[in-house]
Structure formats: structure tokens, C-alpha cells
Amino acid sequence: NVAHSARLPVMRSGRCAMLQKMLRGRRPRSPYAARPSLWQIAADFQGCWQAPQRGFSTAATHAATPSSSSTSTPRFTPTQASPTGEWAFRASVLGTENAMSGFLFLDETGRAAYLADGVQVVGRGVGHWIQIGSTTAVELQVYQYGAAETTVPEGPHTFRGIWESSPDQDNGVVSGSWYFCPDGGEPMLVGSFETAASASVLARSPSTSASSPAPPGALPWARATSLSPSETATIMTALNENGRKFLGATDHQDSLEKYRVSNIAKVHYVPEWIGESQEKAFLRMADQDAMQWEDMRTRHSQEWGAGDRCGCGRGLRREPLPAEQQEVADVLHTLRVFDGALYPMNSVRINAYRPGQGIYPHCDGPVYYPKIAILSLASHCLLHLYPRKGNEDNMKWDAQNNVPSGHVDSAPLASFLLEPRSLILLSHDAFWNHRHGIEAVTSETIPETTCNLDLTSGQYKVGDELKRERRVSFTMRHLLPRCACQG
């Protein structure tokens, strides 16, 4: 039996490399893991990407990196064995065995990552860990869902695990208490977890929640450590402090707030996100290979980052983005528009519309999540949001209208004037419960439902007629993995 305190486990090359790159921000070859970590600093890209004058400031919205000179709670002490490395992992939640199952990775700088096994559930998590005396604790933001689910969570959930360092000498398994952390609330004991040096060792061991009695007065699935309530509170406080240090105090939503438009949560419109020279570069990127365009009835289109259906039949095959598009993804991760670790921007659809073309109202979820970012080039248009009607089936394709099926005609609730070089973000209620579309017209009149005129260039007002020219857009999203076939 290999005990945690004896030696580090042998690193499984493919999975371990993915986990380490999730944490360290290296660009791996696997498109599934092609993302900088949450702690990638914005300065890495300032030399190759000009921050737009009216858009986001990369210097102001960077993610904080841990400081090696900090004197706060130590992650481990020299007298204790370090739990760093990769471990097979499982957790029970509210009596459900193996509610989380996969691999946990703890690196030497105090960062943590979780990767679901991809059998029944698909997901990942990132966070941090500390060690005080013989007690180790980890906090993870976990985004996980059933591989066959047609609905997915609206965001990650936060969990914490606390364990004491010595594994069970009989089976080499370490077990501890598992907590759920509601937003703005105190951690709640919801179950237990186990880790071992390998999945085979863990599989041979019975679940702690099934084999250990609950403490007196506790819920039946709870497992208590030998820590006193005051010691547990000290660990929780230390995790709070460590989390603030790792994630930093800057919230990217603060930088987005001034660009929020409409009463629908949440739509953000950023004018002049790129400059004119960059717009030309994006247009060259779109048109550099005419063979890439698919001629649809409603538009011309290119799809990058997602290929044909995976051989397992559960999802689309992921493909790496071209280098120029990956650079854009890196910027959006750095600006924290997309979460570079939990749901990176890994899919780009380039659309080209001639005057008289548009796109039928449709929803992107649950194939894509958790938002869409649309960069407009060359011409303006009006984007409309429509309420969902309940008959949308986004897992099917409407071949006649070239969109996910289930659209119906209805009046728009909100409209947005998209000027060239602007970026619009649709998330939360706007993403989940509204269809978005562009009318197939050669000209259009700005309606009273337009919500963002105060953020546009100032030359437009309600009632003005807009004549369309050829418009190109980059629609950027996160393609949800549905299997673990590609690592």
C-alpha cells in the first residue's frame, strides 16, 4: 500500500499534464486543456495586444498571482509530509455515493485542481489548499454535470475538504469531511471524501460514508474529523484568507458594470473594443482562406474549435483553435470575460452576412456555456432578444434555418445596436432564457426597444434607418465537453 506520507504517486503523464497546465497556465497540445489558468497575469499579453481606449483595461483587470513573500498561513510545515501530487478522489454529497469522482491534484505552490472521470459526470474544478500542523484543507470551485444531461448548472459550486494527514494504514486511503459553501453563507457539512494513490486502491476500499457511523446528532451522511469545532473554524478562516490571496480582490464584474445594458441579466456592450487596424486584421483572418466558408442559406459561416461528433456519440469532437484565435481567447481569459480554467473560450464561429441576410432567433445552450461574446466587424446591425417559449430543442439542428431548432416568431423584448469593432456579452438570464437573432433585411429602423444607444458613438437615435453592408462577426463561446475521450 502506498501511503500519502510515504512518497508522491507516480504521475500519469496525460492526465497529470492536463491538471498541471490547468494550474500553471502553460499551453498544452490538448484542445480540452488549451487554456491559461485563473492565475495567468495580464502582463503576459500586454506586449502583443493593445488595450482598447474605451474597452477593458488589461492592467486593471488582471488576476492576482500568489505572493511568495507573504507571511500569512503556511501551506505546509517542514515537519509534515506534503500532500502534493495527483490522487484518485471521490466524494459523497447528501448521501449520494460518488457524487464527485475523478482525480485531485495539489501542486507545490498551494493550487488545486479536480478533474471528473468522465464516465457518468463531466467537469473540473480549481482552487487552493493549505496545511496547518497535521491537518490539510482544500477549497475547490467545481463545475460538473451529467454527461448525458440536456441542462447544465448556471455556475460552479464551492466545496471544501478537511482531512488529517495519516492515511488508513490498512488500505492506504485518506478520508475526511466534505463541505458545501453556499454563496454568502457558512460552510455546511454535506458528506465525506476519500483519496488514494491510485484509482484501483480507492476502488478496493469501501466508502467512508457507508462504513463510518455519523457523529451523535449529525445527519446520516456526515463524517466528523477529530478536530474540535474551534479547530475547524480556524481552518475555515485560514482558507478564507488564502482564497483572497490567490484570487485577488479585483472582480471582473466591477469592470464590466459600466457596460451593462437593459434590464435583462446580463447583457454587456463594449464599444470600440478593438481599433480599426485590429478590425482589418480580424477581417483578414476571416477571409484568408475562402475554402473555409460554408455557404448557408442565411449566411456564410466557419466553425473553429468544434469538429464532427465524437466517436462515443456523446458530444462534439474538440479541436485546437488556430494560433490567432487562441490569442484572442487568451485575452478574454486574462480579462476574465471567460473563466480560463473552468470554462475557457474554446469555440469560434465566424459568420458573414450580406445585406438581406440574418440569423433566426435561437439559443446556444446547453451545447455551449456559460455565455457568448460577439465581436462585430465592418457593418452595424441590430441584435434582438426574444423570450424563450419552451419548445426550443438546442440539441437538434434546424437545417432549413441553420440554427438550433425550436424558434418561434415573437416580438423582441430588447434590441441592441451593434457597431463595428464592438463586443457584446450575453450571459445569465440573457443566455439561458432568451433567444437572440438578427433580422434578414437590407435596412432596419432603430426601435424603441434599443437599450444601448447611450454607449454607442452618439450619431444614432430611435427612428433612424440603418443600411446594411457586408458584416462579419466572431461569436466566441465555450464548447461543453460531454466525454473524457480526448483527455
| Range of lowest pLDDT (18-22, 199-203, 239-243, 425-429) | 18-22
pTM: predicted TM-score of the whole model, two decimal places: 0.69
Reported as a pLDDT band with limits 50, 70 and 90, residue 357 is very high
Tens of pLDDT along 371-381?
A: 899 999 999 99
Tens of pLDDT along 162-185?
A: 998 765 545 688 889 999 999 878
Query: Is the four-CA dihedral 384, 388, 393, 394 of positive or negative sign?
Result: positive
For 362-372, what is the mean pLDDT?
A: 77
| Range of lowest pLDDT (13-22, 227-236, 379-388, 414-423) | 13-22
* Cell numbers representing residue 16 in the block: 497529470
| Range of lowest pLDDT (317-321, 354-358, 419-423, 463-467) | 317-321
Residue-level pLDDT at 120: 77
Residue-level pLDDT at 126: 85
Reported as a pLDDT band with limits 50, 70 and 90, residue 432 is confident
Regarding predicted confidence, which is higher, 48 or 304?
304
Ramachandran sector of residue 280 (left: φ over 0; alpha: ψ -120 to 50; beta: rest):
alpha
pLDDT exceeds cutoff 70 at 54: no
Residue-level pLDDT at 404: 63
Residue-level pLDDT at 25: 41
Regarding predicted confidence, which is higher, 388 or 295?
295
Regarding predicted confidence, which is higher, 324 or 24?
324
Residue-level pLDDT at 65: 29
For 347-372, what is the mean pLDDT?
A: 86
Residue-level pLDDT at 313: 64
CB 5 within 8 A of CB 85: no
In angstroms, the CA 451 to CA 261 distance is: 6
In angstroms, the CA 441 to CA 246 distance is: 49
Residue-level pLDDT at 326: 93
- Average pLDDT score, the chain: 75
Task: Give the chain's radius of gyration (CA, Å).
Answer: 24
Residue-level pLDDT at 68: 33
Reported as a pLDDT band with limits 50, 70 and 90, residue 397 is low
CB 457 within 8 A of CB 419: yes
Residue-level pLDDT at 11: 33
Residue-level pLDDT at 89: 93
For 298-311, what is the mean pLDDT?
A: 82
Which residue from 98, 101, 147, 143 is spatially nearest to 125, judged by alpha carbons? Answer: 143
Percent of the chain predicted with pLDDT > 70: 69
Phi, psi of 293 (to 5 degrees): -75, 130
